[in-house]
Amino acid sequence: MQLAIETSQKIMQVLSPQLVQHLEILQYTTNELEQYIYDKANENPLLVVTDAKVKMHYEEIMQLASYSDKSYSAQHYAPQHHSFNPIEMKFAVKESYEQFLLEQVPMHKNLSSIDLKILTFLIQSLDERLFLDVDLEVVATICKTDVMHVEALLDLLQTFEPVGVGARNYQEFLLIQVDSDALAPKLASRFIETDLELVAAQAIKQLSKKYKTSLHEVQKTIHYIKNLNPVMMGDQFEAIPYVMPEIEVERLGEEWLIKLNRGYLPVVTIDKQYVEMLKNDPNCKTYFKDTMRDALLLLQGIEQRDKTLYELARLLVELQADFFRKGMESLKPMRLKDVADILSLHVSTISRAVRGKYIKTPHGVYALQSLFTKGVMNISGKMDSIMYIKKRLKQLIEGEDKQKPLTDQQITNTLGAEGIQISRRTVAKYREEMNIMSSFNRMYG
């Protein structure tokens, strides 16, 4: 056996504690950041937190304090002696989640009355796991429409919070989570679609051979899938979060006003008296140094989060001007990577910035993530949205000669002539997603 010494160069990115905390704060929603601030304040005596809600309602509290006790009815504060009923509680949770989902419907404009009827019916047909508990054919019959129409509304429902709502089975529940995560491993969807049993068995070598990829990549993908959110049952639901837009965009004349919604966050400051006390104590030098560093990291992280969200909003207003003027139907294809490149940030940073956050526009409140849509580059160098391509595909099939239905290859050729360069396999995939049969079945089925 011969030993040899080899040298190689590697480029490695090492994240500093400061950057790690900044990225952690960036991914928090307003509700999560509020809780994080209070947790940090409990750990660090240098931090002073002023509750924003207390400040906002101070005058109301003082006014209420001046009222006489006699102005309140005895039954208002009389103790209640109701026994706990788990069945009633389960129905209450389901009803509250229905309401939570129904409140997200107005965020999506340009829905027709039949669209709203179908969407409401689907929401009311969810089981305790928030899985769909009705066949699409049944919904189509009841709502007097076709299955393709119902499928389109189900696709919309599956973009609602919480992630995974509207899934028809456990496999689809996992796929929805993967599809909503821009940083998901590239093979995650295929593993779930075709080899979930091998994933469960952790058949790393078998999957590596089948997909012709490294053992490390397979292991990473399996680990990712196993750490996706588990199915929630009715008694496991947490309190329903109130959708609070982090960003508000308002039009003033010809200008757009961008506002970060900081009003509901507590105000964080450093206690100067405590700083002086610790700083002058020779026995607390190390403790003072550590607590001051942590306090400054928190303040800097919040400031950096605000800066990133503002820059992101400013760029969205620039790139999606038609969307902010007209609404969702004018949304252009846009990827996380495109925005990351323009802002000179890593794509994971943008993914954290949009996670679970909402933006208020003149047309309604939207999840930031919903503004990033996939697309296909056409021959002119522009991006055609998948929604537009599916719509065009459906138009071609609806206008075909019913005696000689268009094959997938003929549709591919027609779209290619129009400048939309996609493969026959992609045409078949989109057709199947819209529940449109193959040319053979359209003729003889």
| pLDDT tens-digit series, residues 382-426 | 555 666 788 888 889 989 988 889 988 899 889 888 877 777 877
Q: 353 burial class (0-12, 13-18, 19+ CB within 10 angstroms)? A: buried
83 against 191, higher pLDDT? 191
Q: Do 336 and 424 lie in a common domain?
A: no
Question: What is the chain's mean pLDDT, rounded?
Answer: 78
Q: Do 147 and 179 lie in a common domain?
A: no
| pLDDT tens-digit series, residues 4-17 | 555 555 444 445 66
Q: Is residue 239 part of a domain?
A: no
399: number of Cβ within 10 Å: 8
The whole-number average pLDDT for the span 213-238 is: 77
Q: Do 252 and 367 lie in a common domain?
A: yes
HSE of 338, CA atoms in CB hemisphere, 13 A: 14
Q: Do 296 and 199 lie in a common domain?
A: no
| pLDDT tens-digit series, residues 282-310 | 888 888 888 899 999 999 999 999 999 99
- Which of 314, 340, 371 marks a domain boundary? 371
Q: Do 258 and 367 lie in a common domain?
A: yes
Q: Is residue 55 part of a domain?
A: no
Q: Do 268 and 297 lie in a common domain?
A: yes
Q: Do 279 and 338 lie in a common domain?
A: yes
Q: Do 279 and 351 lie in a common domain?
A: yes
Q: Do 277 and 314 lie in a common domain?
A: yes
Pick from 163, 182, 166, 175: nearest CA to 199: 175
Q: Is residue 67 part of a domain?
A: no
Q: Do 177 and 153 lie in a common domain?
A: no
The whole-number average pLDDT for the span 134-140 is: 90
Quote the domain boundaries for residue 201: 170-231
CATH number at residue 426: 1.10.10.60
The predicted model scores a pTM of 0.54
Q: Do 262 and 361 lie in a common domain?
A: yes
Contacts of 201 (CB under 8 A, 6+ apart): none
Q: How many domains does the chain have?
A: 4
Q: Do 366 and 261 lie in a common domain?
A: yes
Q: Is residue 25 part of a domain?
A: no
Q: Is residue 52 part of a domain?
A: no
